[in-house]
Structure 1
Amino acid sequence: MKLTKPVTGGPCWVELGTPDVPGAQGFYAAVLGWRSETDPRPEPGGCTMARLGEDAVAALSPVHRPDQRPAWTVSFATEDADASADAVRSAGGTVLMEPMDIFDQGRFAVAADPSGAVFALWQARAFPGAQRFGDPGTLGWTELRTSDPRGALTFYPAVFGWTVDTSEHFTHWGVDGAEFGGLKELPRDDERGQGGTPPQWLPYFTVTDAESTAARALTTGGEQLAPPRRVPGGPCVAVLRDQQGAAFGVHAP
């Protein structure tokens, strides 16, 4: 990821929805070195801020329904959440949660692309988003896993104005050419995707050593969905799942 701070159209935040926030705190502390602070006020509903030092890097939140699947959600920055929600609809997506104010922090909405991959919109006010990108333990890449890559290549540039680079057999997303993510096609006859997951945005966290991080995930109760491997000409990556079932990636440049 070439982005070093939240910019309009780019990923700005990641949030885990999990039925076991305390368990997730322990897991990600061991795997990524996070320390966590839970907001004691009743209004945030147990939302927990994950930090590296004093810098906010992610959130851990309780699921809202008993049948809700544990998952990470990537938020993309927008200057106008309401206008972006309208753009989602116009491009064929679905707005799952209408834009709403989150105290004085910002305005938030949840949407899904035509294939069903869920993402969030964040219009910053007091809280701009993650305070660090690309450092060990922070968001370093985002990957759309979808059964409809052609539709995605139409949908996301229409909503966010992204640039698209399909050189060297990979599709990369960018904001004004600064790359922040990629696209991976899921077989159409396997809509559940790798590891039994539907089309989704998968966050990758930067680490210094993907193999040792994957090993820590295993010893802390997680799983390996894709063991560490070297991308030709690129990083060493692995896809993992925490002990509650939420998938995420790690990559070592």
Structure 2
Amino acid sequence: MLGTDFRTGSPIWLDLGSPDTDASAAFYGAVFGWQYVSAGPDAGGYGLFQQDGKTVAALGRLTEEGAEPAWTTYFRTADAAATTAAVTAGGGIVRVEPMDMGPARIAQFTDAQGADFAVLQSGKGLERASEDNTLVWVELHVAAPEAAVGFYRELFGWRSEEMKAPGMTYRVLSIAEGDQQEGSFGGVAPLSGDAEEARWVPYFAVADADALTAAVRANGGTVLMPAADVPDVGRIAWLADPAGAVFAVLKPNPRQA
């Protein structure tokens, strides 16, 4: 289960690259009830999305030439330089070399199939997860899921377990340590068509996927996949904010005791 006890390979941070941070802050505030808090005058417009004073995501201006609005998932690493070397060895691309950000260290990459992601070398990250309106799952969509599992295993030691889903084989990912089910945080799915891009998609837990979908539409976003039930998982919807950044929401099925 995705949480805030960060270990190697855990999703630890999430930020949105936006062409208009004021508009993005307004949209996500209206949809999720998040408050935007600037990280300060020296942060280059970077800031935090918070819920009840706890950080649940972050927001910054697009800085890479030609970059499109998107959410970026950061995974915890104990050594950003070593992870960078592993990315290169596995056929990935280093977009941002390891660099210090205060007491932390980050690096940003594109994996061997074209999906962007990043790493954070730090013990601190998101302050809330797996609650309503916070990150609950991350999902990789690529043309060759099995190859993707191998690529990331070399980076983080992730384990995977195959699960049959409607029309496909889904691979559930978990960190290398501890119980595999308790350590699960995301999955890998095959691309759904020629038009879909390889990417990591963040899922936010919600109390009502249909109401959240309506809020996205009312605030200028786009519904990519209307809310639908997924057996043994919950009710999900795929959405995009007004700038085009893709995300998903999930109302999980009640957990069985």
Class of the TM-score when normalised by the shorter of the 2 chains: over 0.9
Tell whether 2:53 aligns with 1:29. Answer: no
1:237, distance to aligned residue in structure 2 (A): 0.5
1:107 alignment counterpart: 105
1:60 alignment counterpart: 59
Identity of aligned residues (%): 37
C-alpha contact 1:5 1:131 (8 A) present in aligned 2: no
Q: 200-209 or 143-152: which moved more?
A: 143-152
What TM-score, normalized to structure 1? 0.92
2:133 alignment counterpart: 137
Aligned partners of 1:76, 1:165: CA distance in 2, in Å? Answer: 19
Q: Describe the superposition over 1:118-156 as per-residue Cα deviations: whole angstroms up to 9, x where unpaired.
A: 10010016xx11011101111000000111212102101
1:10, distance to aligned residue in structure 2 (A): 1.1
Q: 68-77 or 146-155: which moved more?
A: 146-155
1:4, distance to aligned residue in structure 2 (A): 4.2
Tell whether 2:212 aligns with 1:213. Answer: yes
Tell whether 2:185 aligns with 1:180. Answer: yes
2:86 alignment counterpart: 87
Identify if the C-alpha distance between structure 1 residues 110 and 242 changes in structure 2 by more than 3 Å, giving closer, same or farther: same
C-alpha contact 1:15 1:60 (8 A) present in aligned 2: yes
The one-letter amino acid paired with 1:50 is: F
Tell whether 2:193 aligns with 1:167. Answer: no
Aligned partners of 2:83, 2:64: CA distance in 1, in Å? Answer: 26
The one-letter amino acid paired with 1:133 is: A
1:244 alignment counterpart: 243
2:44 alignment counterpart: 45
Q: 89-98 or 54-63: which moved more?
A: 89-98
2:121 alignment counterpart: 123
Q: 75-84 or 170-179: which moved more?
A: 170-179
SS of 2:28's equivalent in the other structure is helix
Q: What CA RMSD, in Å, does the superposition of the two structures yield over aligned residues?
A: 1.4
**Alignment length, in residue pairs?**
243
Aligned partners of 2:69, 2:225: CA distance in 1, in Å? Answer: 18
C-alpha contact 2:4 2:126 (8 A) present in aligned 1: no
Q: Describe the superposition over 1:47-96 as per-residue Cα deviations: whole angstroms up to 9, x where unpaired.
A: 01100111111111001146320000000001111111111112221211
Aligned partners of 1:164, 1:114: CA distance in 2, in Å? Answer: 18
Aligned partners of 2:233, 2:163: CA distance in 1, in Å? Answer: 14
1:148 alignment counterpart: 144
C-alpha contact 2:145 2:188 (8 A) present in aligned 1: yes
Aligned partners of 1:153, 1:123: CA distance in 2, in Å? Answer: 22
Q: What 5-or-longer segments of structure 1 have no aligned partner?
A: none
C-alpha contact 1:5 1:132 (8 A) present in aligned 2: no
What TM-score, normalized to structure 2? 0.91
Q: 75-84 or 150-159: which moved more?
A: 150-159
Q: What 5-or-longer segments of structure 2 have no aligned partner?
A: 253-257
C-alpha contact 1:6 1:130 (8 A) present in aligned 2: no
